[in-house]
A and B are shown apart, each in its own frame.
Chain A
């Protein structure tokens, strides 16, 4: 009988598996009794009740069978008796990839519902790491990992863009507070706080940086941001790559030490908090000589110590709170955000279940970067959508940037009438200025878009009208294009100062339009801001070998956000010219 030869990759996976096993992992491999108690704890199962391949124990078994075949005595001697099986081909690895990346968000909900203490999420992460080691992974995981290895942050934000954004936010802060001394310090040594952020804040949500700065300003904090090692997110958590995890975490730690910072504060991000606060020292094999905490703790402490004053009536819209899996189930951070919420908003409604038992936003485990699994993700999101709907809230708060994206996406998909925001925004909104800071003079008129010509390219008539109206209300001159070809034509002819571009359009999609604009010497330098309702299509833009777009906004986009971002892009472009 011919023996099938094992592929090189499959062999490497088996070799590495032996190195990665620790006692806890082996325990999870051998302790499952196939009782099925964990089945319904998984959001994938709840939304695919007729498909047993989503059951946590089934998914775990696809990994377990390899372990059994190579490490367990029964599996070695009587493999058929315990369903032990080896891996031979690259197709076997692809099947594993589909499970490890496409059918589990590593949310750990099954873990806390298993009577045996089987930690499938941790096993699944290990398998991701084995696959990544041999290059078997979704495209998005590869792109993001590469950015984090090479550029130092997972969204490929260049240092100059990061610094520009911080300076821009500093200007916003000074305008708002009418204090030219209001600063966002960079690389200030010997501070009490070194504040680290998610690159998503730089790229899509700079308001959170300004809001945090405002809180630090009111609290009189001695704080700084860092010019390097500022990204507290860590794709190593999602890709299962401990080497990446350790390297990224150490970049942050080393910068804090270099600046002689006393405390590392991690802005609101579930996986960032877990990676930087909890797993990083383990991956990197380091013991930290400084303290670290979530910005949620910092804000709560400031209120409790009377360093900032808040007025909860300023946030009266009904809100609910979504627990990030990494915060709640892996780091125990679930009471603090609630305590803070109750201090800064007047109508907080719990969703059910909550705290460590809350459901995943379905965008966890790096799912937002894996476009190929989007239909599955959105289907499984029905559980979360129902939870949200039940609350009757108009805003869902979450302490995680990943969850913001995941929730935004499902809210749109399930047509829920609510928005998503973070605690930092609510706290900043609720701040009561200290006596001395109350401005005596009339507030300055808000800056406008006067003198700028902006081309809006979008196939949805309502969006086209909305965007142009907002821009015109802010004194910009606008041009409209309802399809890609017209957009390109108008861009060449009118040479606008900025183009807002939808991705999903019939005919020529936004990715194609973007590529042509960047390739044409006449339009190459025109700044582009993507305005899209389909985050899963980001790859169409970001995977292109061109200079990335100057901005990215999720639909539905609020007026303030649109104007703020348009102004930022235009001002940066003006400075660069």
Chain B
């Protein structure tokens, strides 16, 4: 079965334009950010000599892949697993948006399709839970702006269409595929203006924090040592 012109446009040209816009806006954003001067350390190094600015920066950047590193993730492993699955879902959905138009034969393999659906579906469920948490938890509500709700809702709906689009089957109509690609394009254009753009800033904030705390002997963090004897 052949795709319509609309679907072809949504899967190809629309994506290319959206990617171009995203790249342009990101470039402008990075130029803006790098025009602010970076602070530095003039003093001599402190702390353990087994660490260094380079080690600190590396540790800091890899931090998110080490759930044991921070107390906040160490003490909430379920939260970290959610985080990991959610971001794997994003990666899978983006990959899917390239696979469908450029390598559709990959999806002839049922296992591959199932893999995509599993990751994206899990992310969709987590998105629902995160929305529930953001709405029901007093503190989360207090720190949430419309952008936070919208970005999460956008991703969750996009995941849902990703699950449906993964088989790349238009025998029952193109609605799902067109919606998936439209959402993908919107997502790409909206990302740099929203909180979803955080992945662009992540390496920058973590690099500078790690460099400084590495220089000062704090990063890599020495985890708290559990006391041997605790008297009551």
Contact = CB atoms under 8 A, between A and B. Distances in A.
Contacts of A55: 139, 142-143
Contact of B222 (A24, A38, A335): A335
A333 B33 contact: no
B43 to A, nearest CB: 5
A34 interface: yes
Given A119-B209, A332-B46, A355-B225, A390 B232 contact: yes
Nearest to A61: B143
Contact of A27 (B138, B204, B210, B224): B204
B72 A113 contact: yes
A392 B72 contact: no
A247 interface: no
A58 interface: yes
A277 B46 CA distance: 9
Given A31-B198, A330-B216, A357 B146 contact: no
A330 B46 CA distance: 9
Interface stretch (B15-23, B63-71, B109-117, B159-167): B63-71
A52 B138 contact: yes
Contact of A115 (B39, B70, B139): B70
A55 B142 CA distance: 9
Interface string B37-74: 11111111011100100000000100110000011110
A414 interface: no
B34 interface: yes
A571 interface: no
A331 B217 contact: yes
A34 B223 contact: no
B70 A113 contact: yes
A24 B205 contact: yes
A516 interface: no
Contacts of B213: 112, 332
Contact of B64 (A115, A118, A318, A358): A115
| Residue with the greatest number of chain B CB neighbours at <10 A, chosen from A34, A81, A318, A328 | A34
Contact of B48 (A83, A288, A335, A350): A335
Contacts of A357: 71, 221, 223-224
Nearest to B49: A332
Interface stretch (A96-104, A278-286, A481-489): A278-286
Given A355-B224, A357-B71, A28 B205 contact: yes
A509 B223 CA distance: 47
B65 to A, nearest CB: 10
A116 B201 contact: yes
Interface residues of A, number: 76
A40 B33 CA distance: 30
Contacts of B212: 24
A117 B219 CA distance: 12
Contact of A31 (B38, B139, B205): B205
Interface in B218-232: 218, 221-232
Given A37-B79, A112-B221, A117-B202, A331 B47 contact: yes
A94 B37 CA distance: 30
Given A36-B140, A350-B227, A117 B36 contact: no
B91 interface: no
Interface string A248-290: 0000000000000000000000000000011111100111100
A34 B143 contact: yes
A41 interface: yes
B39 A282 contact: yes
Given A357-B221, A357-B223, A23 B33 contact: yes
Interface residues of B, number: 67
Given A22-B36, A278-B216, A356-B221, A333 B205 contact: no
Contact of B137 (A24, A36, A115): A36
B139 A52 contact: yes
Contacts of B202: 31, 116-117
B38 A330 contact: no
Given A113-B70, A117-B206, A277 B43 contact: yes
A332 B48 contact: yes
Contacts of B221: 112, 355-357
B227 A351 contact: yes
Interface string A163-189: 000000000000000000000000000
Contacts of B79: 37
Contact of B43 (A112, A281, A328, A349): A281
A358 B73 CA distance: 16
B13 to A, nearest CB: 27
Nearest to A50: B138
Contacts of A350: 225-228
Contacts of A333: 46-47, 217
A390 B230 contact: yes
A115 B60 CA distance: 9
Nearest to B221: A356
A53 interface: yes
B8 interface: no
A105 interface: no
A24 B38 CA distance: 6
Given A349-B231, A350-B225, A58 B143 contact: yes
A416 interface: no
Contacts of B146: 80-83
B24 interface: no
A278 B139 contact: no
Interface string A108-132: 0001111111110000000000000
Contacts of B194: 74
Contact of A332 (B47, B83, B231): B47
A34 B134 CA distance: 9
A573 to B, nearest CB: 43
A219 B156 CA distance: 67
Given A23-B34, A58-B142, A356-B218, A74 B209 contact: no
Given A37-B79, A281-B43, A30 B201 contact: yes
15 contacts: A24-B212, A31-B202, A34-B143, A37-B76, A74-B193, A80-B146, A117-B60, A117-B202, A117-B206, A286-B42, A288-B43, A329-B218, A331-B217, A333-B47, A350-B227
A-B interface, 6 closest residue pairs, ranked by CB to CB distance from nearest: A332-B47, A332-B217, A392-B231, A52-B142, A117-B205, A353-B224
Interface of B: 33-34, 36-44, 46-48, 51, 60, 63-64, 70-73, 76, 79, 83, 137-148, 150, 193-195, 198, 201-202, 204-206, 208-210, 212-213, 216-218, 221-232
Given A23-B34, A282-B43, 18 more contacts: A23-B204, A24-B209, A27-B201, A28-B205, A34-B143, A37-B73, A38-B72, A41-B71, A50-B138, A74-B194, A115-B63, A115-B72, A117-B63, A280-B43, A335-B48, A354-B225, A357-B221, A392-B231
Interface of A: 21-28, 30-31, 33-34, 36-41, 45, 50, 52-53, 55, 57-58, 61, 73-74, 80-83, 111-119, 277-282, 285-288, 291-292, 318, 328-335, 349-358, 390-393
